């Protein structure tokens, strides 16, 4: 019998799936790590679990305590599920602008949502800064205390990928891996997998796939943070070097516009049955670019970060996509004409 003792034991150990079209196109073996198969349907379950385990080990999170985070999505869902399973409460500060699907999902996972106006990071009322202040308030008023998950600068996030994602990829490929590509939100995935894989083989090429509007492509390609343009992809893009990114070796950088990543998402769904969110399209586009740079015969791994149903009202909504001047495939609009 193979039985998980609880939902937490079901986090990680995701399959590595061969991406047929991307592999055929490049003559490489391009593999996607199926992170959408985690219990919260995203890669962020790993970080959520490690952040909570770390706080328990440090003694800052005690039975009945509150986990506070400023997040719009996947991290909040992961934190709420892990917190439920371990007997903690979750309070999520979320910008009002976030999609109803995400708010609904967070609520049904049991998180208490505090909706605030969306203002930039520099503003003291930014949702992440508010979450930090709220933690101090709850730490004083709640009998069992409160912790700030702080995913951007809490390196328990990248430790999840050093200790789980990287060794899983190594085992699943029998060490026959030449390159790894990932987009960055907090940087936990890219930095953690880079550190973990390079410790096993320093020749593995690690690349960032960055959407327009993020400052990191310029940083890793040209040495200075600079953001230009915009993208519809959610959960990725970053304007600074977070504590999670700090010190990680990133060999190459690719900037991936929506026009390149979005058609890949539709193709992966229609031809390979993979229902994915937009950041996975950026990752697969980055893997194709790295494959072309390395040449045929190489093995490249990337992340399939989250499940597509979370983006029904955006990426999979023809009206939304048309308003953004992005391509809409025929099948997304097609109604059945089978008579019954």
Residue number with CB closer to ligand PMP (165 or 298): 165
Q: How far is the CB of 151 from ligand PMP (least distance, A)?
A: 7
Residue number with CB closer to ligand PMP (135 or 194): 194
Residue number with CB closer to ligand PMP (178 or 306): 306
Are residues 89 and 112 in contact, defined by beta-carbon separation less than 8 angstroms?
A: yes
Is the C-alpha dihedral spanning 132, 212, 79, 159 positive or negative? negative
Q: How far is the CB of 101 from ligand PMP (least distance, A)?
A: 13
Structure tokens at 134: 């709220």
Structure tokens at 142: 């709640």
Residue number with CB closer to ligand PMP (70 or 185): 185
Is the C-alpha dihedral spanning 82, 83, 85, 86 positive or negative? positive
Which of 102, 108, 112 lies closest to 67 in space, CA to CA? Answer: 112
Q: Which H helix or E strand runs over 255?
A: strand 252-255
Residue number with CB closer to ligand PMP (50 or 170): 50
CA pair distance 267, 288, nearest whole angstrom: 14
Q: How far is the CB of 65 from ligand PMP (least distance, A)?
A: 24
Q: Which of 44, 102, 103, 198 is an active site residue?
A: 44
Q: Footprint of ligand PMP on this chain (CB under 6 A)?
A: 42-44, 73-74, 183-189, 235-236, 277, 279, 305-306
Q: How far is the CB of 284 from ligand PMP (least distance, A)?
A: 12
Residue number with CB closer to ligand PMP (74 or 194): 74
Residue 104 contacts by C-beta under 8 Å, 6 or more apart in sequence?
none
Using CA atoms, how far residue 276 sits from 191, 218, 232, 329, in Å, is 22, 27, 14, 15
Is the C-alpha dihedral spanning 321, 328, 305, 3 positive or negative? positive
Q: How far is the CB of 266 from ligand PMP (least distance, A)?
A: 17
Judge whether 44 counts as a catalytic residue.
yes
Point out the residue whose Cβ comes nearest to ligand PMP.
Answer: 235
- Tell me which residue has tokens 């304007």: 239
CA pair distance 206, 182, nearest whole angstrom: 8
Q: How far is the CB of 6 from ligand PMP (least distance, A)?
A: 23
Helix ranges restricted to H, the chain = 20-26, 44-58, 74-86, 100-108, 127-141, 156-160, 166-172, 188-200, 216-222, 258-272, 278-294, 318-323, 330-333
Q: What are the residue numbers of the active site?
A: 44
């Amino acid at each position: 019998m193979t039985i998980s003792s609880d939902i937490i034991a079901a986090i990680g150990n995701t399959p590595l799936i061969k991406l047929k079209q991307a592999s055929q196109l490049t003559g490489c073996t391009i593999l996607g790590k199926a992170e959408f198969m985690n219990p919260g349907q995203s890669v962020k379950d790993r970080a959520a679990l490690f952040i909570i385990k770390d706080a328990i080990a440090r003694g800052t999170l005690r039975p009945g305590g509150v986990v506070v985070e400023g997040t719009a999505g996947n991290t909040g869902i992961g934190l709420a599920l892990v917190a439920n399973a371990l007997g903690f409460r979750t309070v999520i500060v979320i910008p009002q602008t976030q999609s109803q699907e995400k708010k609904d999902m967070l609520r049904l996972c049991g998180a208490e949502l505090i909706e605030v106006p969306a203002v930039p990071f520099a503003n003291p009322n930014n949702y992440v800064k508010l979450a930090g202040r709220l933690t101090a308030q709850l730490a004083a008023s709640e009998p069992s205390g409160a912790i700030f998950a702080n995913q951007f600068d809490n390196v328990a996030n990248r430790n999840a990928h050093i200790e789980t994602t990287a060794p899983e990829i190594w085992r699943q490929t029998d060490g026959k891996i030449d390159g790894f590509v990932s987009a960055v939100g907090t940087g936990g995935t890219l930095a953690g997998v880079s550190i973990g894989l390079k410790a096993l083989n320093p020749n593995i090429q690690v690349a960032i796939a960055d959407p327009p509007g993020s400052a990191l492509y310029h940083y890793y390609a040209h040495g200075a943070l600079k953001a230009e343009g915009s993208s519809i992809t959610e959960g990725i893009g970053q304007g600074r070097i977070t504590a999670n990114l700090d010190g990680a070796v990133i060999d190459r950088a690719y900037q991936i516009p929506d026009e390149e990543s979005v058609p890949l998402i539709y193709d992966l769904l229609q031809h390979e049955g993979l229902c994915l969110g937009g950041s996975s399209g950026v990752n697969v586009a980055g893997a194709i670019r790295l494959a072309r740079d390395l040449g045929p015969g190489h093995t490249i791994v990337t992340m399939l970060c989250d499940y597509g149903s979370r983006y029904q009202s955006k990426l999979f909504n023809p009206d939304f996509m048309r308003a953004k001047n992005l391509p809409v495939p025929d099948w997304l609009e097609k109604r059945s004409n089978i008579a019954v």
